Amino acid sequence: MPSDGSSGRKRVECLIRITGFGNFNTVKSASLDGISQSGSATRPLAQEAKLLRRAYAPARLAMKYHPYYHGKIEIAPKVPVNSYDDFAIWYTPGVADPCKEIQRNPERVFDYTNKSNGVAIVTDGTRVLGLGDIGPEAGLPVMEGKSLLFKYLGGVDAYPICLGTKDPVQIENAV
């Protein structure tokens, strides 16, 4: 095995052709167990290609599904709405009575609203899940993902808020 890593490079280039993923640097940086530091192989090429396809599958599916669903979360009613008449219960004029009760007894806000089950996930986009400073817009998919985890794993309604400022005072005022 040559010590210059040329056989390792050829192996990675072959994997790229087989799997159709990335380029030499992205595949090499995947640091699979099958490629040692010198580039020598410890597992068959077909098995390594299968592992690479499996490793890249979530990223490929993410790029397919994100635009299809236009995000991961939505706000949906948890009350029954069977006709337009139901809006009179849940909005106006029916909503006025819970508002008045909360005004008289502020602690009742937890009985009449979702306040006890809602949290905000706030970012300015500077430290996003190992991606670094990618900005608030680019950070939104990660924040939606966190919202999904909160809801799915804990039943908590989490609302992503991506702030377009890095000024600590403005962030504090917003939160």
- pLDDT in the model for residue 51: 85
Q: How high is the pLDDT of residue 142?
A: 96
The string of pLDDT tens digits covering residues 25-78 is 555 455 444 444 444 456 777 888 888 888 889 999 999 999 999 999 999 999
Catalytic residue among 91, 100, 115, 166: 91
146 is a catalytic site residue? yes
Alpha-carbon distance 72 to 49, whole Å? 30
- In whole angstroms, what is the distance from residue 16 CA to residue 24 CA? 7
Q: Annotated catalytic, 91? A: yes
pLDDT number for residue 19: 63
This prediction's pTM: 0.69
Q: Please, what is the angle between helix 45-69 and helix 6-19, to 10°?
A: 50
pLDDT digits (tens, 9 = 90+) for 75-105: 999 999 999 999 999 999 999 999 999 999 9
Residue 77 CB contacts under 8 Å (≥ 6 apart), including other chains:
90
- Share the mean pLDDT of the chain: 85
Predicted pLDDT of residue 157: 97
What DSSP designation does 86 have? Answer: H
Q: What is the pLDDT of residues 132-144, one digit of tens each?
A: 999 999 999 999 9
What pLDDT is recorded for position 72? Answer: 94
Residue 21 has pLDDT above 90, yes or no: no
**Residue 2: pLDDT over 80:** no
Q: Where are the domains of the chain?
A: 6-69, 85-174
CATH topology classification for 85-174:
Rossmann fold (3.40.50)
Residues with Cβ within 8 Å of 109's Cβ and at least 6 positions away in sequence, in order, are 102, 115
